[in-house]
A = this chain, B = another copy of it.
Amino acid sequence: MPAPDLDRFDRAILAILQRDARTPQRVIGEAVALSAPAVQRRIRRLEEAGVIRANVAVVEPALVDRGLTIIVEVELDSERADRIDAAKRAFLAAPEVQQCWYVTGEADFVLVVLVATMADYEALTRRLFFADANIRKFRSLVAMDRVKTGLAVPIDP
């Protein structure tokens, strides 16, 4: 799966699909000066190459009882590979953990957690952090405003 070289058509198509994946290929074609079948072939290639990983619905958390977003920095005691993997698996398995990165620097993990209430978050920390003896400490940053969310990857033209 090598990085395929994308021309300006591919880039333009990606930019559009990241905003609205339902844009008709005919409309995309008009925007990028290509026929609908040409657009279709390019999209197919981008999917096969793994550049387009999925097409997903974006859900508003507040409307499905997940109004609270909390960013969590987690610091481990031991940085042994098997310990790290265990933590990864635990975070991966927790549905409340929307995103998780393993990072360098002053923390080991950064999580984005979605819950309904602080009580739920407290319960989650008990289950996820206090239950694991290898977690030295964690720091919670409560989101007051979701200034920008999304998965859009900048595409330079």
Contacts and interface: CB of A to CB of B under 8 A. Distances in A.
B51 A141 contact: no
Identify which of A14, A50, A152 gathers the most chain B CB atoms within 10 Å of its CB. A152
> Which of A4, A69, A91, A99 has the most chain B CB atoms inside 10 A of its CB?
A99
A88 interface: yes
B99 A64 contact: no
Nearest to A143: B101
Given A55-B55, A152-B98, A49 B21 contact: no
A52 B142 CA distance: 24
A148 B49 contact: no
A145 B20 contact: no
Interface residues of A, number: 70
A57 B17 contact: yes
A154 B95 contact: yes
A58 B52 contact: yes
B65 A20 contact: no
22 contacts: A11-B64, A18-B59, A51-B59, A52-B58, A52-B60, A53-B59, A55-B56, A55-B58, A56-B58, A56-B151, A59-B151, A71-B101, A97-B148, A98-B148, A101-B143, A103-B141, A103-B142, A104-B141, A105-B139, A106-B141, A107-B141, A149-B151
